[in-house]
Amino acid sequence: MSSAEEGLLTVVDLKRYAYCPRIVFITSVLHLEERTSEAMELGHEEHDERLIAPLLVKLSAKRVLRALELESKTLGLVGKLDYLVVTRNRELVPVEVKWSGSAKGRAKWDHRVQLAAYAFLIEENLGSRVNRGCIYYLKDRGLVETLIDEDIRLIVRRMLREMHEMVLEERDPGIKAPLSKCINCGYLPYCRPGIRRVGGKSSAPGPLYIFRARSEGPAKQSSIIPAENPENRRSSKILNRKLK
């Protein structure tokens, strides 16, 4: 049985929710898959210990666990951590490797959320407190450290509750992210199909689809209703078939 069938969300889901809640609605409620983007292709780049050797020295690593799979039935969360570094002082430090650059030398918000989620999973499974985490940004070739304090912990717990409620109720959170965050998103064709890239920029002639929820029998079902445009009918039929 998959984690989704068991009612578990992933740390990647949480990271996406921090970036844009509607991504989780599209993947976990509509069950539509991401379109491959340039960012995704770069994100699939293989990395190994040789790549992060300098940061292991910086963290005074005594031991490194790679691709560590963790699960919490309490939080309804699963994840696979890139690296768990055990320092000489026996401190546990989660480390994620990202293809992108940092936010002007600081960890991006969704990456901070991701590390805090891994901290919860590490603490529940290994019994040791996690006080910090690190992101290695390939574009910068630099390590960024972030504290995992009570503020971020409260935020992540709230996000997890919101995510589970949204999926259970099949509730569309709507579009809340600015257009600038949507340009390289692999879910753009599903979420904002009216957006067209023109000369490196984007234009929005209007929505091609409207997300609605309907109740039929004991279970709620979601559908994508085409806007009043005959040219959109064929594409909408394809998307609605995926929802059945």
- Quick one: pLDDT at residue 186? 81
226, with CB counted inside 10 A (0-12, 13-18, 19+), is buried
> What's the token pair of residue 82?
């890139």
Per-residue pLDDT of 181-214, as tens digits, reads: 787 788 888 887 776 544 444 444 443 333 333 3
- Quick one: pLDDT at residue 193? 76
| Range 137-153 average pLDDT | 90
**Cβ–Cβ under 8 Å, residues 188 and 195:** yes
| Range 55-69 average pLDDT | 87
| Range 221-242 average pLDDT | 41
**Cβ–Cβ under 8 Å, residues 61 and 85:** yes
Angle at 205 between CA 175 and CA 223, to 5 degrees: 50
Say if residue 84's pLDDT is above 90: yes
* Lowest-pLDDT choice from 11-15, 114-118, 136-140: 136-140
- Quick one: pLDDT at residue 124? 95
Say if residue 94's pLDDT is above 90: yes
Task: State the CATH architecture for 9-169.
Answer: Alpha-Beta Complex (3.90)
Mean pLDDT of the chain: 76
- Pairing relationship of beta strands 9-10 and 77-87 according to DSSP bridges: parallel
Q: How far apart are CA 203 and CA 179, in angstroms?
A: 10
State the span(s) of the chain assigned CATH 3.90.320.10. 9-169
- Quick one: pLDDT at residue 188? 83
Per DSSP, 227 falls in state: P
Per the model's pLDDT, the better-predicted residue between 199 and 142 turns out to be 142
The whole-model pTM stands at 0.74
Q: How far apart are CA 179 and CA 156, in angstroms?
A: 24
| Range 49-78 average pLDDT | 86
